[in-house]
């Protein structure tokens, strides 16, 4: 396992265990925790009651003992929210800083805890290990380029906390939302949007017309007449993702003064 290892240093592992751990998570996440009986890793979301994005998380484990792969920067806020929703449940929530989260774009070859990315197998494997002798061979930019090329959103890098509606980011197609599981927080609004004939906005891959130009994350996307038709998500170099209106009639769009091409994800 010495090649193409990427350190996802912006992630941290939480342990959720106890007699009520399964029912607790089932009540609050957008996916069905029972899916872990048939696949090893789950990608899911936490939403506001209004159906807006809070955080994304990967989950692995078994009944009443789970590991949560979450964003590191707000993990204290995630823990606070989990405690709030736990109420009187028999659940303990612990940070496990000894784990590092890695990615590998091909199948790992040694005995680490590793699972194929549940969003798409083309994004390789996520690796969870306490073995700090395993060193990254590529920086995070490699992973960001790969997922952008595949049109895969990445939590807080792309979605806006308490503002974004996840369905605009293809989260249903990427298996983050289960509409057959029953209730979850934000389910009513999310289901209503899902069953509409069409969404007003969608996720697009964007790229500058010239290779030497660069794009700015979370910036307005406009027509040549300066009408705003969307906003960039995370961008790196001359490409990135964007949320754009589905009613766009223009073939040319701009980020600042930079012309871009755009393709639906």
pLDDT category at 113 given cuts 50, 70, 90 is: confident
Residue 143 belongs to domain spanning: 5-158
* Same domain, residue pair 153 and 206: no
* Same domain, residue pair 137 and 215: no
Q: Is residue 168 part of a domain?
A: no
Question: How far, rounded to the nearest angstrom, does the alpha carbon of residue 75 sit from its chain's CA centroid?
Answer: 15
* Same domain, residue pair 124 and 10: yes
* Same domain, residue pair 40 and 96: yes
- Measured CA to CA in angstroms, residue 24 lies from 20, 58, 173 at distances of 6, 16, 25
Q: Is residue 22 part of a domain?
A: yes
* Same domain, residue pair 140 and 28: yes
Q: Is residue 195 part of a domain?
A: no
* Same domain, residue pair 110 and 232: no
* Same domain, residue pair 128 and 40: yes
* Same domain, residue pair 59 and 114: yes
* Same domain, residue pair 123 and 27: yes
Q: What is the CATH number of the domain that holds 263?
A: 2.40.30.110
Q: How far apart are CA 232 and CA 239, in angstroms?
A: 10
* Same domain, residue pair 77 and 146: yes
Q: How far apart are CA 40 and CA 95, in angstroms?
A: 21
Q: Is residue 167 part of a domain?
A: no
- Which residues touch 224 (CB under 8 Å, ≥6 apart)? 250, 252, 254
**158, 183, 213 — which closes off a domain?**
158
Six-digit token string for 243: 């949320």
Q: Is residue 150 part of a domain?
A: yes
* Same domain, residue pair 216 and 103: no
**158, 191, 217 — which closes off a domain?**
158
What digits encode the pLDDT tens for the residues 22-80? 999 999 999 999 999 999 999 999 999 999 999 999 999 988 999 999 999 889 999 99
Q: Is residue 83 part of a domain?
A: yes
Q: How far apart are CA 99 and CA 96, in angstroms?
A: 6
pLDDT category at 149 given cuts 50, 70, 90 is: very high
What digits encode the pLDDT tens for the residues 222-248? 999 999 999 999 999 999 999 999 988
Q: Is residue 175 part of a domain?
A: no
**133, 158, 183 — which closes off a domain?**
158
Overall domain count for the chain = 2
Q: Is residue 152 part of a domain?
A: yes
Q: How far apart are CA 192 and CA 206, in angstroms?
A: 29
* Same domain, residue pair 106 and 210: no
Alpha helices (H) in 29-126, listed in sequence order = 75-86
Minimum mean pLDDT among 10-14, 83-87, 129-133, 177-181: which range?
A: 129-133
Res 110: pLDDT = 66
Q: What is the CATH number of the domain that holds 44?
A: 3.30.1360.120
What digits encode the pLDDT tens for the residues 173-227? 999 999 999 899 999 999 999 988 678 999 999 999 988 899 999 999 999 999 9
């Amino acid at each position: 396992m010495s090649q193409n290892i990427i350190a996802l240093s912006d992630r941290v592992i939480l342990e959720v265990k106890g007699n009520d751990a399964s029912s607790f998570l089932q009540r609050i996440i957008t996916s069905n925790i029972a899916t872990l009986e048939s696949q090893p890793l789950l990608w899911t979301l936490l939403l506001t009651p209004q159906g807006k994005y809070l955080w994304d998380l990967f989950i692995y484990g078994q009944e009443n003992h789970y590991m949560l792969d979450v964003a590191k920067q707000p993990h204290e806020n995630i823990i606070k929210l989990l405690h709030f929703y736990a109420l009187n449940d028999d659940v303990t929530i612990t940070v496990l800083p000894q784990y590092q989260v890695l990615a590998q774009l091909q199948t790992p070859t040694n005995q680490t805890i590793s699972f194929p990315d549940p969003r798409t197998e083309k994004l390789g494997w996520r690796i969870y290990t306490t073995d700090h002798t395993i060193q990254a061979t590529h920086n995070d930019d490699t992973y960001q380029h790969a997922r952008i090329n595949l049109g895969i959103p990445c939590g807080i890098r792309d979605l806006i906390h308490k503002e974004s509606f996840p369905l605009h980011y293809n989260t249903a197609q990427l298996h983050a939302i289960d509409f057959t599981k029953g209730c979850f927080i934000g389910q009513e609004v999310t289901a209503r949007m899902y069953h509409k004939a069409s969404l007003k906005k969608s996720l697009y891959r964007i790229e500058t017309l010239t290779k030497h130009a660069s794009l700015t994350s979370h910036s307005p996307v406009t027509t040549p007449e300066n009408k705003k038709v969307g906003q960039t998500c995370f961008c790196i170099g001359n490409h990135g993702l964007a949320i754009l209106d589905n009613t766009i009639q223009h073939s040319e769009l701009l980020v600042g003064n930079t012309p871009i091409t755009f393709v639906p994800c």
